[in-house]
């Protein structure tokens, strides 16, 4: 029987790679649900190829356009985050690829956890915002969180070589992004086009900017905390520009186990889709002799301040990671639209963390409110800075 798969964020970089893994393994998977935002033309092509039972799009305008394009041959089309959640649970998906970008993916990911699915998690922001709620929902409902982020996929694989409680430390590797080696002053005037030129990975725009600021690594530290139950002091970051070692685990006896592979997201996606089994892969084999040299350096935390802000948020706990994430999403969007400079991104986030003490979190509604307030405060801060001479 093919494994039933729903893909949230099917029109994005991870979503398209996930569909490629499915396409290249005929008979092994059945796509039962697709969720996208506003790239309706691309979604219509995916619907024609994969024939899902139901789809969801961001709004009514996208729904009308999709129905027009599919001219009477459309599956059920839902709208908004509730619609996405319905596609997640209502199609009988066994595996849900969570690849919507940002906090917009939170409600459907929580629905997938509550439905007891295998959640192939790329949408790290959902875990950053609501880690405790997600882990609890997964535990209570028998859902399995299998990371798609290459670093966390690596850790997940490395941990399979040791017993529970035997890991002492994990080391997340980072490419260092396009501005590795630059000092703060040299990044004052960098443009979004420069920041979008990632040296090793092809990704969507938001995560590419996060990689340039090192906030991506900061979000990954928080993600690792929730996925693997590690405290911040057990999570290290090491810059490895070749992006071949995807991360490592140090065990209590001093052994270090690493996972290696080329920078191709289809590898961790396939790992999550097939978990706990392994099947023939579709990526190029790794030729270490051809690569020759692997290098490592410590991150420059003075120039790339976002990493420490993420550690701070996790130490503060409560809603601090959710507010960090919200301020970062607003700041990255403002940078991509030319409204703020690159070095202002950490300033917007730090302002949000300074603005309020971390509040406790018991329910999703509290996080939604923290997210809303942080976005408002970040936008106000950006406007004030822009208009102040
Ligand atoms: N790309 C990578 O290699 C990579 C690696 C590790 C982790 N991740 C994580 O994976 C997630 C996706 O990244 P990406 O690079 O694939 O991003 P992306 O290329 O920008 O794609 C984002 C996807 O989310 C959809 N989306 C956005 N807002 C939505 C909404 N309100 N409702 C429904 N769908 C919505 C988009 O739909 P439309 O385009 O149709 O609007 C698109 O399908 C992020 O959390 C990222 O951190 C990505």
Question: Average pLDDT in the 18-34 region?
Answer: 98
Whether residue 218 is found in the same domain as residue 337: yes
Q: Is residue 341 part of a domain?
A: yes
Domain containing 326 equals 153-262+290-387
Contacts of 288 (CB under 8 A, 6+ apart): 244, 260
End-to-end CA distance of the chain: 65
Please give the number of the atom of ligand 1 that sits closest to the Cα of 56. 33
Rounded to whole angstroms, how far apart are CA atoms 235 and 241?
19
* Residue at which a domain ends, from 97, 122, 148: 148
From the CA of 255, how far away is ligand 1's center (Å)? 36
| DSSP conformation class of 310 | H
Rounded to whole angstroms, how far apart are CA atoms 80 and 319?
24
CATH of the domain at 332: 1.10.1740.10
Who lines ligand 1 at CB under 6 A? 9-15, 35-39, 58, 84, 99-101, 104, 122-125, 149, 201, 203-204, 206-207, 265
Q: Is residue 114 part of a domain?
A: yes
Whether residue 236 is found in the same domain as residue 96: no
The predicted-structure confidence for 220-278, as pLDDT tens digits, reads as follows 999 999 999 999 999 999 999 999 999 999 999 999 999 999 999 999 999 999 999 99
* Residue at which a domain ends, from 125, 148, 171: 148
Q: Is residue 267 part of a domain?
A: no
The predicted-structure confidence for 301-336, as pLDDT tens digits, reads as follows 999 999 999 999 999 999 999 999 999 999 999 999
The predicted-structure confidence for 83-138, as pLDDT tens digits, reads as follows 999 999 999 999 999 999 999 999 999 999 999 999 999 999 999 999 999 999 99
Q: Is residue 97 part of a domain?
A: yes
Asked if residues 47 and 74 have their Cβ atoms less than 8 Å apart, the reply is yes
Contacts of 347 (CB under 8 A, 6+ apart): 385
Which of 61, 207, 336 should be mutated for ligand 1, with most atoms under 8 A from CB? 207
From the CA of 204, how far away is ligand 1's center (Å)? 7
How many structural domains is the chain composed of? Answer: 2
């Amino acid at each position: 029987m093919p494994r039933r798969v729903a893909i949230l964020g099917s029109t994005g970089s991870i979503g398209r790679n996930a569909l490629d893994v499915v396409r290249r393994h005929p008979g092994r998977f059945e796509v039962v649900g697709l969720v996208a935002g506003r790239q309706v033309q691309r979604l219509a092509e995916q619907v024609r190829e994969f024939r899902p039972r139901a789809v969801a799009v961001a709004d009514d305008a996208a729904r009308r356009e999709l129905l027009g394009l599919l001219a009477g041959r459309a599956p059920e089309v839902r709208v908004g985050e509730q619609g996405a959640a319905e596609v997640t649970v209502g199609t009988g998906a066994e595996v849900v690829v969570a690849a919507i970008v940002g906090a917009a993916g939170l409600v459907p990911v929580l629905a997938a956890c509550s439905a007891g699915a295998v959640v192939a998690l790329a949408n790290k922001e959902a875990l950053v915002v609501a880690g405790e709620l997600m882990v609890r929902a997964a535990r209570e409902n028998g859902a399995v969180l299998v990371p798609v982020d290459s670093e966390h996929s690596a850790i997940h694989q490395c941990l399979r070589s040791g017993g529970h409680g035997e890991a002492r430390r994990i080391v997340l590797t980072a490419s260092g992004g396009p501005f590795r080696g630059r000092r703060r002053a040299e990044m004052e005037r960098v443009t979004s086009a420069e920041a979008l030129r990632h040296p090793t990975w092809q990704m969507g725009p938001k995560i590419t900017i996060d990689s340039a600021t090192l906030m991506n690594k900061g979000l990954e530290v928080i993600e690792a905390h929730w996925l693997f139950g590690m405290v911040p002091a057990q999570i290290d970051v090491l810059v490895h520009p070749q992006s071949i070692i995807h991360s490592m685990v140090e065990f209590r006896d001093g052994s270090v186990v690493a996972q290696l592979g080329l920078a191709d997201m289809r590898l961790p996606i396939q790992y999550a889709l097939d978990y706990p089994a392994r099947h023939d892969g579709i990526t190029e084999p790794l030729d270490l002799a051809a690569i020759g040299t692997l290098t490592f350096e410590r991150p420059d935390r003075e120039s790339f301040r976002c990493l420490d802000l993420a550690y701070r948020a996790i130490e503060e706990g409560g809603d601090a990671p959710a507010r960090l994430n919200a301020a970062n999403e607003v700041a990255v969007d403002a940078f991509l639209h030319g409204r703020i400079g690159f070095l202002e991104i950490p300033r917007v986030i730090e302002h949000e963390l300074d603005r309020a003490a971390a509040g406790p979190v018991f329910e999703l509604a509290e996080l939604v409110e923290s997210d809303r307030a942080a976005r408002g405060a970040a936008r106000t801060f950006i406007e004030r800075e822009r208009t102040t001479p």
